[in-house]
Structure 1
Amino acid sequence: MKQKFGFRQASVFVWQYWKQVPWLLSGAFVTMALATLCDVFLPVFAGRLIDSLADAAFAERAVRIDDAYWALAAFVGISAAFHVFREASYRFWIPLATVTMRRIVCDAFYRVQRFSADWQANAFAGATVRKVSRGMWAYDEFADTIYIGFLPAGIVLVGITANLMVHWLLMGVFVLVAVVIYLLVSVLLVALYVAPSNAIMNKSDSAVGAAMADAVSCNATVKSFGAELREDRRFFDVSDLWQRRARKAWSREINSGTVLSVMTLLLQGGLLSLALWYWSRGQATAGDVTFVMTSYFVIHGYLREIGQHVRNMQKAINEIEDLVGFEKQVIEVADRESAQPLAARGGAIDFDGVTFRYGNQEAPIYADFNLRVGAGERVALVGPSGSGKSTFVKLVQRLYDVDEGRIMIDGQNIAEATQESLRRAIALVPQDPALFHRSLSENIAYGRPDARQEEIEVAARRAHAHDFISRLPQGYETLVGERGVKLSGGERQRVALARAFLADAPILILDEATSSLDSITEAQIQEAIEELMEGRTTIVIAHRLSTVRSVDRILVFREGAIVEQGTQKELAALRDGHFKELLEMQVQGLVLDDG
């Protein structure tokens, strides 16, 4: 069940950032409070100014003019002080806001980067980006609502109500009751009437971002099937739903504003009627009536915005909820406090009594699994889909923690090593490499960002990538596009191989690393791959069994267990063996394809 999220949780989230810069925070709030106190006392001097002028005979004006000038000077001085303190407050508030927003978005990025592989697989990248950026701006709205909205309004309402009570108790009580009712109605309207619609609208807003990112990132697939109109219709349906929900949410905001406007009119009528009643009884002067009228206008100026502030607050709370959720999301695979860098040398891998299940599965994929891969040994993993080959590699990289047992590299438990050091000891060449929208040099040097340009070019030559890179207009400075979309599949794979050459890690993982290459190019770089494997512990995930001839040992997986192991010649000779069965199926497939 989802935990209820509200003002308290959002306030705790914001406070943890504010308390990091106490001098900016205190400077901003103190100067804003001083500016607001000027508004509280402004009606007092406005009333005194009118009293010094009202009903004065001509002969008395010379005497009263001094009082009038003093009242005017105080009135102007308070107005000037208001602007000075207000401007000073923003000099504190702007740096507080910018440093906080930066820290919020950086913290969110930090955590999202470290969420589990399962979380990444289940989250839309576009929706995640939208949640982070929207949450950052939601903080801005939340903080501004407190600082520019609630803080000054609270000071003004308390101060002026106290002023009125000192002069006329009944009038002060009337304002107090009216303001409390107004605030209560504002909160109830937002919480029960406006907020639910805003929350639904925000979900549709995230869905719009997710749908757009999904289609744009897969545009090549869309084009290959001529499915632009189909994707248009899908996106239009999502955006239509957002439109309907947004119209409903915004209409409710207008309706609540109408109710609050009626309430301010009732406050105005009641307050001024009381002032006239006191004047008619001789208990109030013209200056007193001016004091009351000015007080009302000040109160109204703040009350008029209270409803909007409450709506903004609830909207910000709804939108900041995702960031709070990211903060509370458990980082499932985290470095232990005592974690030390992995000192990988030969790259020997040991699975010792490993039991592991994915979170959505009841039965473990590995149960008391044991295996040793010697330092420098070349091992191929073969077997049908779902047999445990990819899981083996993910566990070696510690993308998941095992439920029982341990995985050792060179005698060190990888759960007790830092993840950065572990993964720097492993060079991975996936079947479908994803590149960053950065230069080719940066992509090749991603595993060794301090590499010199000469080293990058040597790695590219060894991967047979230098020639095609040299033909590009910007050469190694060419930007490859999102996920490397500007390159062909074979070019991306050669860049990934160059990256592995440059990383020079003791453990090499090849996930059918030549699958996207044509036969000529595959033959060209097979020798380079042989050179790359030399002296390194190599794990080859083999989908095409023709690629496992040069390994030292083949492990045949089935349902999370190794059912056969040996060289290709040994396994092919086994009667009714699993490897022989897989080999015959692939041979039959090739014959059928040729036919």
Structure 2
Amino acid sequence: MTTRAYGDRLIASVAACAWAPLALTALTAAGGCVVALALPASMAAAVDAAVTGGDALLATVRLAFLLGATALVDIVSAIAGAAYSASAAGSLRMRLANRLLAVNIVEAGRFPTGELVNRLVSNAATTASVPMTLIGAGSGLVTSVGGVVALFTIDWRVGAAFLTGVPLALVVMRVFVSGVSGLYDRSQAAQGRLAARLTETLAGIRTVRAAGTASHETSRVLRPLPDLSAAGHALWRAQARGGWQFTLTLSLIEILVLATAGFGVAEGRLEPGAFLAAAGYTALGLAFAGLTETLMGVAHGRSAARRLCQVFALPVLPSGTVPLAAGPGVLSFRGVTVIREGGPLLDDICLEIPAGAMTAVVGPSGAGKTTLALLAGRLTDPDRGEVLLDGQCLADLDLASLRGAVAYAFERPALLGGDLASAIAYGGTVSDLEEIRAAARAAHIDDVIRRLPAGYRTPAAGVWLSGGEIQRLGLARALLRRARLTVLDDATSSLDTVTEAQVTAALRDGSRGRTRLVIAHRPATAARADLVVWLDSGRIRAQGTHRELWRDPAYRALFAAVSNGEKPCPATP
């Protein structure tokens, strides 16, 4: 099935999620068509009654009723439309967010953060609007056909005059719509690239200011702007061409109809009110001209839906059904291979991490350390081989039970939650403030939090902390979980040597009996570990204690930069 077909299916599923307000919108649209088609005839009857001395009161009451019905339909339609838009866009964004949370974390990295935000916010709303746009198109088409039929009931000559110009109008519409769909794709792709670059720059705004590179970053962020401008100008040119062509064609049709009706009144074939009705039904018949804007909206929405389908196409990590049994925390890698962009990140890794041990993983940049850490808690899956926890394959396990058994601390932890206490307790079952403080003390962040005006109740959003302090909050979160397996992925890279030693000691002594996997860059961290695994080019080069491996000059060279007071891997500013 093509991406276009998947996009259409996505639009249909969005409509099904908010069917009630959408159905009400369709009903009001149908009622609006009936009222609109009855109004010109009622106006004609009122005019004829006034001219011929008929029952003008009844005709006026009928006209007033139709005008009131028009207002009521408009009000209900506006309310139903707003309810549908909120419900449909909200449900689509929720589905998209849930998909992103379920996908393989490595695959999700294919899209920059700003690009995903653009799709989640803008493209989701545009996609959700398509069913409403189609209802508008349907009501416009019905109104147009009804108007033409009414013209024929007035006089076949009047109807024929209208149809004379329709083929030309349809040709103009077809040429216009066929040319704008690709322009919408180009425009939205450029918007996504621009949003991604802007998000990257805002995330590193302190570095930009410190380096004095604001002008350079401005140029980099705006680099997709010429593509966006070109697509926008092309759309405007297409609209301008279509605009004057439509205006000319529709004016020609209107002149033909009114001239024919005028001759009918002059010759006595038609009543004066019929001329007024012909003018009204001509306007309704020309409603098909509005389909151009409608079809542009549909093209825009289908383009947005195709962009969302690219996200929905990302592979998810399917949850198994087997609950995780109790166990000591033995972590095993059996023939594990991970391939990305044509090359192996990890190649045939066979490794067993003992229960309750603290294992350090060392190696140069690009050796596969982070990939190994992601595999340990099944944040990604291997292309070959399997990862086991206490003899159970992670792919077979229920994800909820696995998440409860594995705690992570990352290089740049996200402070999620209302306040700092909630940020430390995030994702766990512990909410007691004393236990949260104990974890913070173990991570050597308690004194920093206490110095803040609101202490542990300080809002997590926007709190001004250093990179090392934020890392210690992430470490406190991992320590609080008391998980069977704790994984530290570069989680101490921003700590000074003394604090890193204190945190590592707390991790070693305060988590005895629980398995710990630590990505290490400092020799002191490796020295405190029970086992050191040395990765090189995606393979295990050696494993043993730090003392045993230290005899190898190449192993000592890994830590030479640290010994000289430099970081082995550049820290993200």
What is the TM-score of this pair, normalised by structure 2?
0.90
| Counterpart among 565, 568, 582 of residue 543 in structure 2 | 565
Pair 1:160-2:144 in alignment: no
| Counterpart among 233, 246, 250 of residue 219 in structure 2 | 233
Contact 1:31–1:89 (8 Å) recurs in 2:
yes
| Counterpart among 25, 28, 32 of residue 31 in structure 1 | 28
Q: 1:413: Cα distance to partner?
A: 1.1
Contact 1:195–1:314 (8 Å) recurs in 2:
yes
Contact 2:14–2:88 (8 Å) recurs in 1:
yes
2:437 is matched with which residue?
457
Identity %: 25
Distance 1:438 1:126, change over 3 A: farther
Q: 1:3: Cα distance to partner?
A: 4.2
Q: Which has the larger radius of gyration?
A: 1
Pair 1:251-2:228 in alignment: no
Superposed counterparts of 1:102-251, under 5 Å: 102-139=90-127, 141-147=129-135, 149-176=136-163, 178-179=165-166, 181-192=168-179, 194-239=180-225, 241-251=227-237
Contact 1:352–1:370 (8 Å) recurs in 2:
yes
| Counterpart among 514, 534, 540 of residue 556 in structure 1 | 534
Q: 1:588: Cα distance to partner?
A: 8.1
Q: Distance in 2 between matches of 1:311 and 1:525?
A: 59
1:260 is matched with which residue?
246
Deviations along 1:139-193, whole A, 9 cap, x unmatched? 454344233x31321221121222223343343344345445424422430221x
Distance 1:97 1:177, change over 3 A: farther
Contact 2:339–2:345 (8 Å) recurs in 1:
yes
1:500 is matched with which residue?
478
Aligned length: 566
Contact 2:104–2:381 (8 Å) recurs in 1:
no
Q: Distance in 2 between matches of 1:227 and 1:449?
A: 45
Partner SS, residue 40 of structure 1? helix
Partner SS, residue 447 of structure 1? coil
Could you tell me which runs of 5 or more consecutive residues in structure 2 were left unpaired when the two chains were aligned.
567-573
Contact 1:111–1:331 (8 Å) recurs in 2:
no
Partner SS, residue 565 of structure 1? strand
Q: 1:362: Cα distance to partner?
A: 4.5
| Counterpart residue identity of residue 347, structure 2 | Y
Contact 1:36–1:82 (8 Å) recurs in 2:
no
Q: Distance in 2 between matches of 1:98 and 1:343?
A: 43
Distance 1:91 1:571, change over 3 A: closer
Q: 1:441: Cα distance to partner?
A: 1.3
Q: Distance in 2 between matches of 1:92 and 1:513?
A: 50
1:273 is matched with which residue?
259
| Counterpart residue identity of residue 458, structure 2 | T
Partner SS, residue 529 of structure 2? coil
Deviations along 1:542-577, whole A, 9 cap, x unmatched? 22233222322222233433332222333345xxx4
Partner SS, residue 112 of structure 1? helix
Of 8-17 and 386-395, more deviation after overlay is shown by: 8-17
Contact 1:37–1:155 (8 Å) recurs in 2:
no
| Counterpart among 101, 110, 117 of residue 89 in structure 2 | 101
Pair 1:385-2:365 in alignment: yes
1:439 is matched with which residue?
419
Q: 1:28: Cα distance to partner?
A: 2.4
Pair 1:371-2:368 in alignment: no
Q: Distance in 2 between matches of 1:238 and 1:540?
A: 40
Distance 1:153 1:330, change over 3 A: same
Q: Distance in 2 between matches of 1:241 and 1:18?
A: 32
| Counterpart among 478, 498, 515 of residue 537 in structure 1 | 515
Deviations along 1:395-414, whole A, 9 cap, x unmatched? 22222222333221112111
Q: Distance in 2 between matches of 1:513 and 1:160?
A: 70
Partner SS, residue 346 of structure 1? coil
Contact 1:445–1:502 (8 Å) recurs in 2:
yes
| Counterpart residue identity of residue 291, structure 2 | I
Q: 1:209: Cα distance to partner?
A: 1.6
2:495 is matched with which residue?
517
Deviations along 1:28-79, whole A, 9 cap, x unmatched? 212321122111122222223333344x4xxxx4xx3x2x333333222222
Q: Distance in 1 between matches of 2:72 and 2:62?
A: 15
Contact 1:126–1:213 (8 Å) recurs in 2:
yes
Could you tell me which runs of 5 or more consecutive residues in structure 1 were left unpaired when the two chains were aligned.
none
Distance 1:152 1:128, change over 3 A: same
2:311 is matched with which residue?
326
Pair 1:586-2:556 in alignment: no
Contact 1:51–1:285 (8 Å) recurs in 2:
yes
Pair 1:345-2:331 in alignment: no
Distance 1:450 1:157, change over 3 A: farther
Q: Distance in 2 between matches of 1:283 and 1:9?
A: 55
Q: 1:499: Cα distance to partner?
A: 0.8
Of 393-402 and 134-143, more deviation after overlay is shown by: 134-143
Distance 1:588 1:189, change over 3 A: closer
Q: Distance in 2 between matches of 1:77 and 1:588?
A: 86
| Counterpart residue identity of residue 284, structure 2 | V
Deviations along 1:209-268, whole A, 9 cap, x unmatched? 222111111112212322122112333444455345433322332332121111110110
Contact 2:37–2:143 (8 Å) recurs in 1:
yes
Of 272-281 and 343-352, more deviation after overlay is shown by: 272-281
Partner SS, residue 426 of structure 2? helix
